[in-house]
Amino acid sequence: MVVAQRYGAGHRVLITGGAGFVGSHLADALLARGASVVAVDNFSTGAKENVAHLADHARFALVEADVTEPLPALDALAGRFDVVMHFASPASPTDFTHVPLEIMRVGSIGTLAMLARAQTDGARFILASTSEAYGDPLVHPQPETYWGNVNPIGIRSVYDESKRFSEAATMAHHRYRGVDVGIVRIFNTYGERMRPDDGRAIPTFISQALRGEPITVHGTGAQTRSICYVDDLVRGILLLLDSTETGPINCGTEHEMSMRQLAETIVALTGSASPVTYVTRTADDPEKRRPDLTLARTRLGYEPRIGPDEGLRRTIGYFAGRA
């Protein structure tokens, strides 16, 4: 399966959350194709430094705005966009308790606003959904046909259910308003530009290892995740963008490891003497997480390329350079 590039030179792309971890990498990749990119971010979790290297780029504009409110009347936002990519949302476990209402607003009001913009512009709309849509799965690995096992009133529900609502809203606009849409379900992704204090395992473990502090693993550490380096994720998202697929389509890797194994790997790669310790496990923490990539392979020709050791070394280098 080969997906031909549809979007590049001469196309305008709007990325919400464009100064965030994934959004900023998407901006880089689309600019490299020759597209013009407008990144919208309110910097609740994104950071200007993530796109500082693009400040003087002729085809890039950064707009500080909240997508749950009407967008400002600026030249950068005037005119038609060919693509609207909705990637705005706090996404780490600490965010679920610190900004729960903001998460729900961006996943509902923000999603509806960006779908309306895509409809007005006749743009292709790409939604950043999540493996959290599967909750604590009873099926392993998780195919897109699995409807999930989500606690609708738990601590994680503000994120899980906002993304599930976003998917429903996206499909409703596709079915009843003819919007060209694609939904990507993003599995655990890591890499440069993650926040060191965002509460996710990899930046937490790396930061602790570099400081020589104990690595704090939740529970027994037997719970698993499949980790994906950001370059592989971005390539998968662009394959979905260029395709005519609606999705949802999983994007990630099958590099599944326990949290204990992940902690031990990071200690070894950093050369740290940090011990691995265990702390109370958070509520509704999924036991297993691994994508079934059959659909991504057969419909998009997607194949992850970067293994955990290489991706983690790059990420460790990034965090070490910021210490």
* Residues classed as catalytic: 159
What are the E-state strand segments in 65-135?
83-86, 124-130
CA nearest neighbour of 41 among 83, 75, 76, 89: 89
- Cα angle at 134 between 251 and 117, to 5 degrees? 65
Per-residue tokens: 235: 């390539």
Q: Tell whether the torsion through CA atoms of 73, 184, 305 and 189 is positive or negative.
A: positive
Q: How far, CA to CA in Å, does 128 sit from each of 97, 106, 151, 167, 202?
A: 21, 12, 21, 9, 20
**90 prior amide bond cis, ω within 30:** no
On whether the CB atoms of residues 286 and 240 are closer than 8 A, the answer is: no
Which run of H or E residues covers position 225? strand 224-226
Instruction: Supply angle C-alpha 67, 286, 135, rounded to 5.
Output: 50
Measure the CA–CA gap between 154 and 158, rounded to whole angstroms.
8
Distances (CA, A) of 72 to 44, 115, 304: 18, 17, 38
Alpha-carbon Rg for the chain, nearest whole angstrom, is: 19
Cis peptide before 308 (omega within 30 of 0): no
Residues 55, 219: Cα–Cα separation, whole Å:
43
Name 178's Cβ contacts closer than 8 Å, sequence gap at least 6: 119
